[in-house]
């Protein structure tokens, strides 16, 4: 299953190496900004304003961000489409006016490929965003955009998730005539992240020791940061065996709040946008229910009474904050796995390309 030579592997070294590589990966993506602009121009020329995103795992988490990037920049409706509805149930939905964005690191995910083939045959504009433009998905889609994240060796995705988020922001930015602004914002984030990483690594190693006994956790984010909450939860599930569940601030008070007690930490993501009051209040209610709070995100300090703080820099473009906010969660997954005696580079039962069920 693994290409790792057992004798020289340091547990977590692949994961940490790719977390550290993220600023460079974002820079590489930006070298392709003109290609993103050209694809956005095609979608605009065809008058498309309904974006259907498909992908699994981290790719689907990035698509949660796309809902906000397309909604707030070109004001398009973007949805995470159901693959099973068309591929397994054969629903013949009208795809006129639709633009498909297929997200797959490998470009070999079978049901994403089947979805794109069907949609292209039915007249939709199909766009693949993949780390391997020469993959089957790259061949199947009408237009292909590279992630340019570099070869991914870690089973838990990190740099391919952040480049997917940046790719969706860049495409949405170009669709709105603001591609340059978004590109400059991504470049600034890459520099901020490069500066912040050493201190974040130390901080998350400390926090991980304190969370070594945790078996379940809620991760709270709202708006564009809901994608971050989903991605951090997935990292903790797959590398640390923590039952981490992503919730919006509003989800929390519609039931899950009742599950909280002192054994149930809550990771909160505070961003300097319209979602902050809701996240602050959800955090306060979780704390009142006995939960230990971990406050993260650019506005971590706005979360009152947290046991632990892991703030990230404030981006120049607020919508890009998820590129920074996810990193403490990635580092927690790396450090917590080691605190629990697990190797995050060898999660149980997972392989690099996921085949369809």
Site for a copy of itself in 197-216 (CB under 8 A): 215-216
Based on CB atoms, which residue is closest to a copy of itself, 6 or 254?
254
Stretch that binds a copy of itself, among 2-10, 14-22, 142-150, 345-353 (CB under 8 A): 345-353
- Provide, rounded to whole angstroms, the least separation between the CB of residue 250 and a copy of itself: 5
* Three-class secondary structure of residue 145 per DSSP: strand
Residues 78-97 that bind a copy of itself (CB under 8 A): 79, 82-85, 88-94
| For a copy of itself, the closer CB: 161 or 308 | 161
At CB < 8 A and 24+ separation, what contacts does 90-93 make?
A: 92/122
Q: List the interface residues with a copy of itself, window 236-295 (CB under 8 A).
A: 237-243, 245, 248-251, 253-261, 264, 273-275, 277-278, 281-282, 285, 288-289
Closest to a copy of itself by CB, 2 or 32? 2
Q: Can you give 84-130 as a three-state secondary structure string?
A: HHHHCCCCCCCCCCEEEEEEECCCCCHHHHHHHHHHHHCCCEEEEEE
Binding map of a copy of itself across residues 311-340, x = CB under 8 A, - = no contact: ------------------------------
What is the β-pairing status of strands 293-297 and 243-247? unpaired
150: left (phi over 0), alpha (psi -120 to 50) or beta: left
**Measured from the CB atom, is 196 or 336 closer to a copy of itself?**
336
Q: How far is the CB of 185 from a copy of itself (least distance, A)?
A: 17
Gap between the Cα atoms of 333 and 156, Å rounded = 10
Residue 345 as a binder of a copy of itself (CB under 8 A): the answer is: no
CA 256-259-263 angle, to 5 degrees, is 130
Alpha-carbon distance 25 to 330, whole Å? 16
CB of 241 to a copy of itself, least distance (A): 4
Helices 22-30/179-210 angle, 10° precision: 170
Q: Phi first, then psi: what are they for 293, rounded to 5°?
A: -100, 140
Residue placing its CB nearer to a copy of itself in the complex, 188 or 289: 289
Nearest Cα neighbor of 53 from 64, 42, 43, 39 is: 64
Q: Is the CB of 54 or the CB of 141 nearer to a copy of itself? A: 54
From 15-23, 60-68, 100-108, 323-331, give the range in contact with a copy of itself by CB under 8 A: 60-68
348 touching a copy of itself, by CB under 8 A: yes
């Amino acid at each position: 299953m693994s290409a790792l030579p057992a004798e020289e592997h340091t547990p977590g070294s692949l994961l940490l190496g790719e977390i550290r590589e993220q600023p460079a990966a974002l820079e590489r993506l930006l070298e392709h900004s003109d290609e993103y602009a050209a694809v956005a121009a095609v979608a605009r020329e065809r008058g498309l304003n309904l974006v259907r995103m498909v992908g699994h795992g981290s790719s689907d988490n990035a698509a949660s961000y796309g809902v906000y990037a397309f909604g707030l920049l070109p004001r398009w409706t973007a949805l995470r489409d159901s693959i099973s509805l068309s591929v397994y149930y054969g629903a013949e939905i009208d795809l006129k006016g639709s633009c498909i964005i297929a997200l797959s690191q490998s470009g070999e995910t079978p049901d994403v490929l089947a979805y794109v083939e069907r949609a292209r045959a039915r007249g939709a504009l199909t766009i693949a965003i993949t780390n391997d433009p020469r993959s089957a998905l790259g061949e199947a889609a009408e237009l292909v955009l590279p992630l340019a994240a570099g070869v991914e060796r870690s089973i838990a995705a990190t740099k391919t998730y952040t480049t997917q988020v940046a790719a969706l922001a860049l495409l949405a930015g170009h669709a709105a005539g603001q591609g340059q602004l978004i590109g400059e914002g991504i470049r600034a984030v890459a520099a901020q992240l490069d500066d912040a990483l050493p201190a974040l690594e130390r901080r998350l190693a400390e926090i991980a020791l304190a969370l070594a006994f945790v078996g379940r956790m809620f991760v709270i984010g709202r708006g564009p940061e809901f994608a971050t909450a989903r991605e951090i939860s997935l990292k903790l599930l797959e590398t640390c065996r923590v039952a981490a569940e992503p919730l919006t601030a509003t989800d929390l008070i519609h039931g899950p709040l009742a599950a909280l007690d002192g054994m149930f930490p809550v990771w909160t993501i505070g961003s300097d946008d319209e979602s902050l009051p809701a996240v602050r209040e959800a955090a306060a209610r979780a704390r009142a229910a006995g939960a230990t709070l971990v406050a993260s995100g650019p506005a971590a300090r706005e979360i009152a009474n947290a046991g632990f703080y892991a703030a990230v820099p404030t981006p120049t473009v607020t919508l890009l904050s998820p590129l920074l906010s996810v990193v403490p969660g990635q580092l927690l997954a790396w450090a917590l796995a080691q605190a629990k005696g697990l190797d995050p580079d060898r999660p149980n039962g997972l392989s690099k390309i996921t085949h369809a069920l």
